[in-house]
Amino acid sequence: MSDKGLLIILSGPSGCGKDTVINELMKRDRNVVVSISSTTRAKRENEIDGVNYNFLTKSEFEELISNDKVLEYAEYNGCYYGTPIGPIDKMLSEGKDVILKIEVQGAQKVMKKLGDEVVSIFLLPPSFEELERRLRGRNSDTQEQIDSRLKIACDELKRAPYYDYVVVNDDLSVAVEDILSVFKAEKRKTKRNTKVIREVCKNA
């Protein structure tokens, strides 16, 4: 068995069901955890530090950046959003499978940085019409917000070919099974089993 956990990127347009899928994955497999992003923006009233985000000060975040301790980060409206390496390395070395829920730009930065040390999965809606229907059904967004999300979704979908795997989220349980199979198969990859091979061959 591989001792170190897997690092997995999960991306997909707003409305494709990332959060539902991740919650279900963690329920089905206790070894799966999701990495919490860090930000320097002010915590909103309904948010919890360490759940929605890890809230950092600007100087804390900038120290991480200057020490090359962030996998990827971006700046929006004068605030940093990103993924510090430290907590992820710790979870991986404990054997946890760590999901990074990041948007396509951040995902591409991580893929470039880590190469085949990271497994990338793109979650697809069954169709663009269904994505639109889901986003309109939320009732929490204005017409402008929905149109903007659809435009972004459109751009994001075009990046699906850069991921290792694509999973269609039509039936939730099928999508979750597909992703769990990816985890299992990735752990059987030869490059993650050199120790096992050596062990079996040692008296041959």
| Contact between 168 and 13 (Cβ < 8 Å) | no
Distances (CA, A) of 118 to 9, 55, 160: 7, 25, 16
Residue 152 touches a second copy, criterion: CB under 8 A: no
**Look-up of token digits 């269609």:** 168
| Contact set for a second copy, span 91-110 (CB under 8 A) | none
Minimum CB distance to a second copy smaller for 142 or for 190: 190
11-40 mask for a second copy (x: CB under 8 A)?
------------------------------
CB of 169 to a second copy, least distance (A): 11
Residue 201 touches a second copy, criterion: CB under 8 A: yes
What would the two tokens of residue 87 be? 């907590």
Q: What dihedral angle (degrees, nearest 10) is formed by the CA atoms of 94, 96, 97, 101?
A: -100
Residue 172 touches a second copy, criterion: CB under 8 A: no
One of 20, 158, 171, 172 touching a second copy (CB under 8 A): 158
Euclidean distance between CA atoms 177 and 57, whole angstroms:
39
CB of 100 to a second copy, least distance (A): 18
**Look-up of token digits 């799966």:** 32
Minimum CB distance to a second copy smaller for 105 or for 127: 127
118-137 mask for a second copy (x: CB under 8 A)?
---xx-xxxxxx--------
What would the two tokens of residue 163 be? 């991921």
The DSSP code for 160 is: G
Euclidean distance between CA atoms 17 and 91, whole angstroms:
24
CB of 12 to a second copy, least distance (A): 11
| Contact between 99 and 33 (Cβ < 8 Å) | yes
Residue 153 touches a second copy, criterion: CB under 8 A: yes
What would the two tokens of residue 71 be? 């996998």
What is the contact surface with a second copy in residues (CB under 8 A)?
121-122, 124-129, 153-154, 157-158, 160-168, 177-178, 180-182, 184-186, 188-190, 193-194, 196-197, 199-204
